[in-house]
Structure 1
Amino acid sequence: MRIIRFKEENNVVLGALTDEGSIFVLPQKDFLELTSLAEEKETTALQIVEEVIANSVPISAKVEELQLLVPIEAPEVWASGVTYLKSKEARNYEATEGKLDATTFYDKVYDAERPEIFFKSTAARTVGPNQDVCLRTDSNWQIPEPELGLVINKDGKVLGYIAGNDMSSRDIEGENPLYLPQAKVWKNSCSIGPAIRLAETVENPYEFEIKCRIYRNEEKVVEGSASTGQLKRKFDELVSYLVKDNDIFDGTVLLTGTCIVPPNEFTLADGDRIEIEISDIGVLNNPVKSQSPKTLPTA
């Protein structure tokens, strides 16, 4: 069972999307109201949704026909780095200008007890399905990073799973690790969606299949796939370090790292389109747009 949000005329609607593709309107205004109600009633969000479905009929529209919104307006999005071997190799390539046999701090992070956790986005910087992700104006080497996201509450409990795109400027990060915030955080540099898979419906979260496709002039130019089974670290380990001595908010999203990296000679361009597909969650589609440099006011 998945939870979606969509716009219907001037209203924002919360919906339940079954595995068969049927869509039922839920009475709650957002995902957190649904999960809070489940906690209050000492039941699960799935049980509440099933009760609604048993007493209603699905809407006539298909999910492809809806104007989907971010499934949750996450107050904060955090991300994990170097959680897959492929990610370590890519970061080493950036930092050593292609000398793959060189040892860097990324090797240390990959093998260390403490994972890399960094701040990625706010609700205002995060976009949803079919919305534009933007390119940095001061970077010449930019890629998407397709990742499974954990939707968690303030106590670190996993409420659901979501697809995410952790846009990255490889040249900025490779130049100096202290530039990581600039390599990761800018306008529309993060997307999440298209749905939240309820945690109680996932038997094994290490069996998600992730695919990424990039289109240029609607011709596929990059394609890759991976599985969360390839993760070096476990989800509870990543969450435990995020909440350690840190107050987080209900509805926080933690992206868990990428194992799909485009060829080193590839960079995103204006007009490209990114599809990130995660099994049992759906396809997160985002066009890519350039933006104009900001002009600072003169004194």
Structure 2
Amino acid sequence: MRIIRFLNENQVPTLAALTDDEKVYTLPQQGFMELVDAAEAEGTTTLAFVQNLIASASPLNQNVQDLQLLVPIEAPEVWASGVTYEKSRDARNYEATGGKLDATTFYDKVYDAERPEIFFKSTAARTVGPNQDVYLRSDSNWQIPEPELGLVINKDGKVVGYTIGNDMSSRDIEGENPLYLPQAKVWKNSCSIGPAIRLADTVADPYDFQITCRIYRNEEKVVEGTAKTSQLKRKFDELVSYLLRDNEIFDGTVLLTGTCIVPPNEFTLENGDRIEIEISSIGVLNNPVKSQSR
């Protein structure tokens, strides 16, 4: 069972359940966390609560592909984890050493350290949803998407759902100096999430998700890569526990868990490209790429 948001015929944001056979049922709640809280108030799981809501309802006549989807949750904050996969560590080393192969840097230390790298990524106002433009940073010449599994958590750090995230990144800015990380990660429309939230109750093994990223140029596929969350160096509860340390977290926060798919080093995104990120049992997050003028 997945949860989506879309604009109805009156252009009103609407919460809905999306079943595994692709049927869409509208829900009375306004937002995802309201749904989670309502289930908790009744002492049941979110899955059981949703199943009860839709048991006697009729699905929409529209297919999910025909809906104008929105971000599935207006996350007050999006945080991200870095260097959680070996592939990410190697890519960061390549950036930091000016392209030296097999070089080692402080990123090796981060990869092996007890404390993970966690950084602030986005706010609700900076985050876009399915089919919305992600922007290129105007002062960077080497930019890529970072396809990631996102954890939707409540204020106590409980994982209540899983979504797809795109952590747009400027490799040249981060490689120039690690202290430039916020500028390499945070700008307008530099984060997308969606298209749905897979209820945590329905996921038997969160380390069994398959992630695929495809990049199209003139609608021709120029990059494709796959990975599985089983390749993670760290566990999700470890990442969440460090995010919560001496920190106030809000209901509906999204924590991106790092990437294991990195395009070839000679590749950079261009205006007009299109990014597809697919995670098994969640869906496909599609975003066109747009340049910004300086």
- State how far apart, in whole Å, the 1-side matches of 2:205 and 2:79 are: 22
Runs of 4+ in 1 over 3 A off after TM superposition: none
Report the secondary structure of 1:57's partner residue: coil
Post-superposition Cα deviations, 1:243-297, rounded to whole Å, max 9, x if no partner, equal 010001000000000000000000000000000000000000000000112xxxx
TM-score (norm 1): 0.97
The residue aligned with 1:172 is 173
Q: Percent identity?
A: 79
- State how far apart, in whole Å, the 1-side matches of 2:104 and 2:144 are: 23
Report the secondary structure of 1:14's partner residue: strand
The amino acid across from 2:226 in the alignment is: S
- State how far apart, in whole Å, the 2-side matches of 1:12 and 1:177 are: 39
Structure 1 residue runs without a partner (length 5+): 294-299
Post-superposition Cα deviations, 1:35-67, rounded to whole Å, max 9, x if no partner, equal 011111111111111011211010011110000
The amino acid across from 1:282 in the alignment is: G
Matches within 5 A, 1:1-299: 1-9=1-9, 10-293=11-294
Structure 2 residue runs without a partner (length 5+): none
Post-superposition Cα deviations, 1:225-253, rounded to whole Å, max 9, x if no partner, equal 00000000000000000001000100000
- State how far apart, in whole Å, the 2-side matches of 1:107 and 1:202 are: 32
Report the secondary structure of 1:119's partner residue: strand
- State how far apart, in whole Å, the 2-side matches of 1:208 and 1:96 are: 32
Report the secondary structure of 1:36's partner residue: helix
**TM-fit CA distance, 1:90:** 0.3
Of 30-39 and 181-190, more deviation after overlay is shown by: 30-39
Task: Tell me the number of residue pairs that the alignment of Structure 1 and Structure 2 aligns.
Answer: 293
- State how far apart, in whole Å, the 1-side matches of 2:160 and 2:142 are: 35
TM-score (norm 2): 0.99
CA RMSD of aligned residues (A): 0.5
Report the secondary structure of 1:74's partner residue: coil
